[in-house]
Amino acid sequence: MTLFAEFAGLGRRLEATSGRLEKRRLVADFLRAVEADEVGLAVAFLIGRPFPSSDPRVLGVRWLPREVASGGGPPLTLADVGAAFADVAAAAGAGSRRTRDARLTELARRASPDERDFLDRIIGGELRTGVSHGLVLEAIALAADADVAAVRRAALFLGDLAAVAALARAGGAAALSGAAPRPFVPLLPMLAEIATDFGDVLRAHGGRTALEFKYDGARVQVHREGERVGVWTRRLSDVTRSLPDIVAVTRELAGAPFILDGEVVALDAAGRPLPFQELMRRFRRVHGVEALVREMPLALHFFDCLMLDGRSLIDAPYAERWAALTRVTGGRYLAERALVGDVDAAQAFHARAVAAGHEGVMAKDLGSAYEPGGRGKRWFKLKAAETVDCVIVAADRGSGRRVGWLSNYHLAVRDGEAFADVGKTFKGLTDAQFAAMTDRLRALALEDDGYTVRVRPEVVVEVEYNEIQRSPTYRSGLALRFARIARIRDDKAPGQATTLDELRALYERQFATKGRAG
């Protein structure tokens, strides 16, 4: 059995090591050394979790009891710590707090000061050793002498690095290569690049492409095995309880176990799509769900099949996956779709989608595999972008690769002699433009709190957006959804920016094709 002191020692070495390659080697060596039945627990602890990420249990505590004197006893092992965490998570009902405290006190008494430090870090959910999920993934590959791409693919399918490490330990590189999607382990959704020209799309897809309506809804991934159904969002949040109508539809379908990808759209009484902001009420509701189901029905549009009859279709071409989707649904609940081979037909289909109140269209290569989390030219989205002219009134300091720049811009429209905020964006500019804009805004600075710099409202930018939403956050009462800077309008003065009255009119104009809640 692996002593927990060895894990704490690894933590100290990782803290003292700055190089990524050396950190990776240290983690790989540790994973090789632990017992096979400990490797999953070791990975969970390395990423600062008391349980593997696929395990729904929670401790319900923030740290070990304080002022507990060391009492000796046998040295702690990884398994001892795992068992103690399991007991704490299982404590429920009358006296549960006393049970948790007693179990954690026992753990603290057996731990050295160094071990207590790392136990607290795991309980708190942050190990602070400079070890990321990506580094642990690479260390699993190194320990198993496997290709990093195979480990990354297995992680997408299994949804848990602890499970990946256990698989690698049990079966090595061959087992990792054989990993496949599993029901109730949600996959990252495949994503699309933005395109503006159907000619470019057709050339990229070999002269023929599949167009689907791009619905102004929310992505859902639906799993079924037997009578059990699970529904996840694009961020992999479980919304099954909030969408009983989608669960009911899923139970009508054949071919389980299956995994389907699709979009849900909220509808008004006339069957017109409601704004995205209204749809989110359905996703957030956990009480009184049935009443909201009646008030705001959902339209379901499936567009991909990732598993059918328990067989993975991830690597099958799009055309084969669509055929499987048609079988499982019986042709119902499908996204509106057309196969096109010329620009005129593509533009006509796009116009039909926009006239129906949707965002635009998706274009999909008929031969493309499904790449969880991937984004590329296999899928494009073509939307009818709306634009307004905004003034930059403030900017936040950037993080990550944007450190050193003012790169999250506060956007405002004209409201009389003042300006009213309508959103923020860091999208649309090149690195060179970020750098130039940073210099320009610093010269206009009025206030600086160390994070946000308020500036004189002089810089006008043309901003693309997906939708205008009501907003309690901004004084304007409105917010631009998916704002993106299309170009810097040095040809315009701040007094020529879009006015708040004009923005309100644009907000109202949306309801020519969309429904209105309430």
- SS3 labels along 248-265: HHHHHCCCCCEEEEEEEE
Is the link from the previous residue into 113 a cis peptide, with omega within 30 of 0? no
More confident residue, 326 or 510: 326
Residue 277 pLDDT > 70: no
Residue 54 pLDDT > 90: no
What is the pLDDT at residue 255?
A: 93
| pTM beyond cutoff 0.75 | no
CA dist., res. 497 & res. 412, Å (int): 9
Are residues 441 and 492 located together in one domain of the fold?
yes
- At 140-169, the pLDDT tens digits run 999 999 999 999 999 989 888 999 999 999
Mean pLDDT across 402-413: 91
- At 364-393, the pLDDT tens digits run 999 999 998 888 899 998 877 678 999 999
Name the domain boundary from 351, 383, 415.
383
Amino acid at 194: I
What is the pLDDT at residue 355?
A: 86
Highest mean pLDDT, choosing among 69-83, 99-113, 336-350 = 336-350
CATH code where residue 505 lies: 2.40.50.140
Share of the chain above pLDDT 70, in %: 99
Are residues 306 and 370 located together in one domain of the fold?
yes
CA dist., res. 191 & res. 95, Å (int): 48
Tell me how far CA of residue 166 lies from CA of 39, 321, 343, in angstroms.
6, 31, 50
CA dist., res. 39 & res. 26, Å (int): 14
What is the pLDDT at residue 417?
A: 84
What is the pLDDT at residue 518?
A: 61
Q: Left (φ > 0), alpha (ψ -120 to 50) or beta: where does 130 sit?
A: left
Are residues 408 and 368 located together in one domain of the fold?
no
- Of the residues 23, 214, 364, 383, only one is catalytic, namely 214
Q: Please say if 214 is a catalytic residue.
A: yes
Task: Find the angle CA(329)-CA(373)-CA(19) to the nearest 5 degrees.
Answer: 160
The verdict on residue 185 lying in a domain is no
Are residues 379 and 394 located together in one domain of the fold?
no
Name the domain boundary from 353, 383, 413.
383
Are residues 337 and 230 located together in one domain of the fold?
yes
Are residues 11 and 120 located together in one domain of the fold?
yes
**Radius of gyration of the CA atoms of the chain, in A:** 27
Are residues 379 and 318 located together in one domain of the fold?
yes
The residue assigned the tokens 């159904």 is 229
Residue 413 pLDDT > 80: yes
pLDDT bin (cut points 50, 70, 90) of residue 459 is: very high
What is the pLDDT at residue 86?
A: 95
Q: Provide the β-strand partners of residue 481.
A: 467
Which are the contacts of 285, defined by CB distance < 8 A and separation ≥ 6? 242, 292
Q: For residue 491, what are its two tokens?
A: 């040809």
Mean pLDDT across 492-500: 87
Are residues 104 and 79 located together in one domain of the fold?
yes
Using DSSP's 3-state secondary structure scheme, residue 152 falls into helix
The verdict on residue 182 lying in a domain is no
What is the pLDDT at residue 404?
A: 87
The verdict on residue 518 lying in a domain is no
The verdict on residue 106 lying in a domain is yes
Which of 195, 480, 512, 517 shows the shortest CA–CA distance to 356? 512
CATH code where residue 66 lies: 1.10.3260.10
What is the pLDDT at residue 140?
A: 96
Which of 361, 345, 338, 194 shows the shortest CA–CA distance to 263? 361
What is the pLDDT at residue 295?
A: 83
The verdict on residue 184 lying in a domain is no
Q: Strands 484-488, 460-465: parallel, antiparallel or unpaired by DSSP?
A: antiparallel
Q: What average pLDDT is seen over the chain?
A: 91
Counted domains in the chain: 3
Are residues 284 and 345 located together in one domain of the fold?
yes
Q: For residue 492, what are its two tokens?
A: 């315009």
CA dist., res. 7 & res. 30, Å (int): 8
What is the pLDDT at residue 262?
A: 97
Residue 500 is part of which domain span?
386-512
Name the domain boundary from 120, 152, 177.
177
